[in-house]
Structure 1
Amino acid sequence: MAKIGNLDLGDFPLLLAPMEDVSDPPFRAVCKENGADVMYTEFISAEGLIRDAAKSVQKLDIYDYERPIGIQIFGDNIESMIEAAAIAEEAGPEIIDINYGCPVKKVACKGAGAGILKDIPKMQKMTEEIIKRTSIPVTVKTRLGWDSNSIKIHEVAQRLQDVGTQALTIHGRTRQQMYKGVADWNPIAEVKKDPSITMPIFGNGDIDSPEKAVEYKEKYGVDGIMIGRAAIGYPWIFREIKHYRETGELLPPPTLEERLATCRRHLDFSIEWKGERKGIFEMRRHYTAYFKGLNNFKPYRMRLVTSDTYEDTQNILKELEDEFLGKDIIV
């Protein structure tokens, strides 16, 4: 049974990864209704929170239906991170999560995100100071190491647990790998097998099907799985994994009606939360996956990803519905 502090997450929770410009409230809403157990916000800049930057502050928006939810922060300055954690805690999440895994150059090369993997003592000190000053559980997301010559995740896990970290999510790649190649879960399994590591260990990287989720659970022994890119435009992956675990059978893919209904809810909430222009723009990354496998979808996709008004987008979706509803589609 996985627990973060006093939060009981069940025997094998599925976590939605914090993805920049993806894991916002509209996206989290459709993932939650399809079975995601724990949500995380997009990662939030500590310096942005301290400066009261509008984009950073908006990311603190959380809703009761999402709970339990963690707010994820990143930064390279310990005092700023302490202050940001306090601001995040005031927003009322169940968890504060620290990002020690972002590989993007503008983050990592300043010593934040995965950049702190070059300075493990600082990582430990930063985590310890944040934990001392918060009253809710603190968790961490990180990578195997900076590069293949510095994989120290076992040491990292021990040090983080020693200062009171309540759970650790490990992405099975180094910073150097970015998102390329294949995630290596063997070091994650080694951490999990260590009897001195008692905090929950969640695995992340390359889980894109129910079969793989169950295979990795059994093979690597993790306490739960965090899913990122595979959920973009396909929030049904959470319910599909749960059904496969329980029955050994694959659910049929979502119908076109369900795809359209979910896409429309996502679009409406996106516009409500961000405004029409930005809401429509940020939905563009989801359409391909929402309608993956649909015969002759390309012309509709091209129009959807260039549409810049709500009315036009809804008209395109209605045309798509009229064209394909009731016909055989390939999925």
Structure 2
Amino acid sequence: MPTLGSHNLRNNLFVAPMAGVTDRPFRQLCKRLGAGYAVSEMVASNAQLWKSEKTMRRANHAGEVEPIAVQIAGADPAMMAEAARYNVANGAQIIDINMGCPAKKVCNVAAGSALLQNEPLVQRIVEAVVSAVGVGPDAVPVTLKIRTGWDRENRNALNVARLAENAGISMLTVHGRTRADLYHGDAEYETIAAVKAAVRIPVVANGDITSPEKARHVLAVTGADAIMIGRAAQGRPWLFREIEHFLQTGALLPPPRIDEIQQVMNEHLEDHYEFYGEFTGVRTARKHIGWYTRGLSGANVFRHRMNTLDTTREQLLAVNEFFDAQKAISDRLVYVDETVGNSGPDNKGEDHTDRLAA
């Protein structure tokens, strides 16, 4: 699907919205390295929070590659409609509704994937947001992200997909897990395939897409129009480039060289520091550095030391010293055993020893 509403997309490889991760610097980097579309971090629908530093930063799209897509979250139809109008007035060209987040602090206020328990409320929210910005001559596409249901006994993605389509949703993303699954177990591609077969709007498959081969497999078995990648791109934004090349040619790109990874990371960190400022920048960059170095020789010791540094200058110097040391080991970054089955929730422990991932 190269288009969404009136917007032409580079390809059908999308960056998933991830709170605390897909800020403007990260979205820009992924787009530069092959992603065709990226959705912002979740913005609360509560108007009292719109002037907070966090929300204003999340709504900062200055210089961003279009189209600009903003995800909103909440459980009140009127507030969600107002949030959509507010974000469109501030530059959003696409509004995405979050009904997929499984986080307790979101679900505890009946938002995110908790909404899947209440289909009438889902319908009211979707209709309210579409009516607010998605109709008329200046219509803004409204998209929806869901899970397959609340738990495995209550999978209702098909019902939600049909009511979303009838309410005017332009595109539907399905994470192939229930809310109860969180990020455990394998994604249900059969459910995504059933949703795709049941509606006429574009459907995006999300969940466990960690390699070019897996991307091709998921597109084939689901029939989805696009795929959305989240955790697998953390510290590995070139994954989009690898997938795009593989889908076009059937050939795998070689892993990036150390000097390119170092350059990508330096550019990312400089943009990150500028975006957040000194105090917040050095602290929020730590997770990205952890992902970039995950599985590399000496990475655990380095991360512990790096987390004690309190200035961007010290942090950047330490990162470059670490990568310079890696060059002395090999011209290609090679993983050590800690990446296998021990990488935590970010990539579910997949073995990426055959290619560079961080």
TM-score norm. by structure 2 comes to 0.87
Q: Write the mapping of 1:126-137 to structure 2, written as runs, cut at 5 A.
A: 126-134=125-133, 135-137=139-141
Greater shift, 284-293 or 241-250, is seen at 284-293
Name the residue aligned to 1:279. 281
Alignment of 1:5 with 2:9, yes or no, is: no
Q: Which moved more, 1:13-22 or 1:297-306?
A: 297-306
Q: Which has the higher contact order (CA 8 A, sep 6+)?
A: 1
Q: CA deviation at 1:254?
A: 1.2
Q: Which residue of 2 aligns with 1:124?
A: 123
- 2:163 is equivalent to residue 159 of structure 1: yes
Distance 2:54 2:93 in 1: 22
1:54: Cα distance to partner?
A: 2.5
Give the conservation status (yes or no) of the 8 Å contact 1:31–1:238: yes
- Two-structure CA RMSD over aligned residues (Å): 1.6
Q: CA shift at 1:156, angstroms?
A: 0.6
Alignment of 1:12-91 (within 5 A): 13-48=12-47, 52-91=51-90
**Partner residue of 1:247?**
249
Q: Is the 8 A contact 1:37 1:68 kept in 2?
A: no
Q: For residue 288 of structure 1, report the CA deviation from its aligned partner.
A: 3.2
Q: Which residue of 2 aligns with 1:179?
A: 183
CA contact (8 A) 2:173 2:205 kept: yes
**Shift >6 Å, 4+ stretches:** none
Contact conserved, 1:234 with 1:290, CA < 8 A, in 2? yes
Higher mean C-alpha displacement, 285-294 vs 14-23: 285-294
Q: 2:212 aligns with which of 183, 204, 210?
A: 210
Whether 1:268 and 2:270 are equivalent positions in the alignment is yes
Q: How does 1:296-315 map to 2 (within 5 A)?
A: 296-315=298-317
Counterpart AA for 2:185: G
Alpha-carbon separation, structure 1, partners of 2:300 and 2:148: 38
Q: Which amino acid aligns with 1:118?
A: Q
Q: Does the CA contact (< 8 Å) of 1:49 and 1:84 recur in 2?
A: no
Q: Is the 8 A contact 1:170 1:204 kept in 2?
A: yes
Task: Name the CA distance, whole Å, in 2 between partners of 1:253 and 1:293.
Answer: 15
- Offset of 1:193 from its aligned partner? 1.7
1:148–1:318 CA distance, 2 compared to 1 (3 A): closer
Task: Describe the superposition over 1:80-130 as per-residue Cα deviations: whole angstroms up to 9, x where unpaired.
Answer: 111111111012222000001111112112211111111111111111111
1: distance between equivalents of 2:296 and 2:109? 43
Contact 1:144–1:172 (CA under 8 A) maintained in structure 2: yes
CA distance in 1, matches of 2:295, 2:273: 26
Greater shift in the superposed pair: 92-101 or 49-58: 49-58
Pairwise CA distance, 1:50: 5.8
Summarize the alignment of residues 82-121 of structure 1 with structure 2, pairs less than 5 Å apart: 82-121=81-120
| Aligned length, in residue pairs | 328
Supply the distance in 2 between the matched residues of 1:253 and 1:303 (Cα, whole angstroms).
27
Report if the CA contact (8 A) 1:49-1:56 is conserved: no
Give the drift of 1:219: 1.4
**Partners in 1 of 2:154 and 2:131 — Cα distance?**
29
Contact 2:262–2:320 (Cα < 8 Å) also in 1: no
Say whether 1:257 aligns with 2:259: yes
Displacement of 1:48 in angstroms is: 4.8
Gap change, CA 1:213 and 1:223, over 3 Å in 2? same
1: distance between equivalents of 2:19 and 2:50?
19
Instruction: Select 1:140's aligned residue among 137, 144, 158.
Output: 144
- Residue in 2 that maps onto 1:224: 226
Equivalent position amino acid for 1:123 in 2: V
Secondary structure of 1:155's aligned partner: helix
Shift of 1:34: 0.4
Gaps of 5+ in 2: 134-138, 336-358
| CA distance in 2: counterparts of 1:168 and 1:200, whole angstroms | 6
Q: Distance in 1 between matches of 2:122 and 2:148?
A: 14
Displacement of 1:323 in angstroms is 2.0
Separation in 2, partners of 1:17, 1:324: 30
Sort the Cα spacing of 1:111 and 1:322 in 2 relative to 1 into closer, same or farther, 3 A. Answer: closer
Structure 1 unaligned spans of 5+: none
Give the partner amino acid of 1:192. K
Q: Which residue of 2 aligns with 1:191?
A: 195
